Amino acid sequence: MIVDQLISILLSGITLGSIYALMSFGLSLMWGTLKILNWAHGALFMFGGYLAWVFINIYNCPYIISLLISLLVLFLVGAGLYFSIIRPFVGNANFLFTTIMTTLGFQLMSESVALIIFGSRYKKIEAPIIGKIIVGVSALTSEDILIILTTTACFSLLYFFLNKTRHGLAIRAVAQDLDGAKIIGINVDRIYAYTIGVAAVLAALAGILTSGIYFLEPHIGYVPMMKAFVVIVLGGLGSLKGTIISAYIVGIVEAAASLFIGLIWSLPTLFLLMMIILLIRPQGLFGYE
């Protein structure tokens, strides 16, 4: 009995954790380089899902092609977001809070735009593969497997990107030492835009994958964004490794909370967890002062 429950918690926890890892990695990257908290992350999540839905269901593109097109578009949207509502404030005294305000405005605005364009009816993206794996009494559906595999592939690519390519190394350089990066001739402005573009791509990927298990609706991005905030605070702001680990912790805690306390209490449980962790260890589990 208890083993079955543990297996089911573990499976759904890993699935949820993969989505949160995708969501929060971008946020953590942005905190590392720009020192901002992007409140428009939910909008990027939602736009990614809707864009893929449009390509699949209206233009009848294959899954993989529409995924790639929407990720490309979202990269541009992310960069555009930087140039329109973040860049004018770089260097301001109140940079963090000004950008929180503008990105929150963008988030609620784009929820409204999605409501106007797509309506409030639920939409779903069918997974390209079907079937399931049965483990004990619980099962991994094809959507769950797709989420876990894509996340693994995506983080492998990101590892390669951040450690081997010029732009990835530049992003890490800016995160480590802004002045040093400027001295060796890195175009910081462009790196900021790249960072937000990559974060937007990750959020959109999470959105597209999630629309296989949940339904797409204009307000879908808000709650995952809240959970991503919990994840990055838990893992320590700016710590990339900590973010991924704490994403899976949060996923498993959420799965356990929804099993034992009830689905409606999963978000309050996570917030309480975050409050307690912050009060005991303000720099997060894996953070540094």
Partner 1 sequence: MNKNSRTIRFIVLMAVLTIFLLIPWVVPNPRYVLHLMIMFFLWAAFASVWDFQLGCSGIFAFGPLAFFALGGYTSALLSLGGVNPWLTIWIGGLIAAAFSFLIGSLTLRLKGIYICLLTMCFQEILRIFCINNPFTTGGGGEGVGIVGWYYRGSPGGSVTFIGTGGFNGITFIPSLVPKWFDSRIANYYIIFLFFVLILFILYKTLKSPIGYAIISIRDSEKLASSIGINLYKYKLIVFLITGFFMGLLGAYYAHYLRCISPIVMNPDQLLMLLDMIVVGGSGIFFGPVAGAAIITIINELVLSWQQYRLFFFGIVLILFVLIFPSGVVGFLKGKKKR
Tokens of 248: 């899976």
Q: 170-206: string of b/e by CB count within 10 Å (b at 16+)?
A: bbbbbbeeeeebeeeebebeebbbbbbbbbbbbbbbb
| Packing angle, helices 63-81 and 188-213, rounded to 10 | 140
Of the pair 44, 233, the CB lying nearest partner 1 is at 233
| Cβ-based neighbour number of residue 229 at 10 Å | 20
The rounded distance, in Å, linking the Cα atoms of 160 and 68 is: 19
Of the pair 212, 221, the CB lying nearest partner 1 is at 221
Of the pair 68, 85, the CB lying nearest partner 1 is at 85
Which amino acid is located at 108 in the chain? Answer: L
> 3-state class of 239 per DSSP?
coil
Q: How far is the CB of 229 from partner 1 (least distance, A)?
A: 6
The rounded distance, in Å, linking the Cα atoms of 25 and 123 is: 26
Q: How far is the CB of 89 from partner 1 (least distance, A)?
A: 8
Q: How far is the CB of 136 from partner 1 (least distance, A)?
A: 29
Of the pair 125, 220, the CB lying nearest partner 1 is at 220
Of the pair 161, 286, the CB lying nearest partner 1 is at 286
Q: How far is the CB of 258 from partner 1 (least distance, A)?
A: 13
Q: Which residue has the tokens 């356990």?
A: 256
Q: How far is the CB of 32 from partner 1 (least distance, A)?
A: 13
- Pairing of the two strands 138-141 and 132-135: antiparallel
Of the pair 47, 55, the CB lying nearest partner 1 is at 47
Q: How far is the CB of 92 from partner 1 (least distance, A)?
A: 9
Q: How far is the CB of 254 from partner 1 (least distance, A)?
A: 14
Strand ranges (E), the chain: 132-135, 138-141
Of the pair 96, 169, the CB lying nearest partner 1 is at 96
In the complex, which residues of this chain contact partner 1 (CB under 8 A)? 37, 85, 88-89, 96-98, 100-102, 104-113, 115-116, 222, 226, 229, 233, 237, 262, 264-265, 267-268, 271-272, 274-275, 278-279, 282
The rounded distance, in Å, linking the Cα atoms of 162 and 157 is: 9
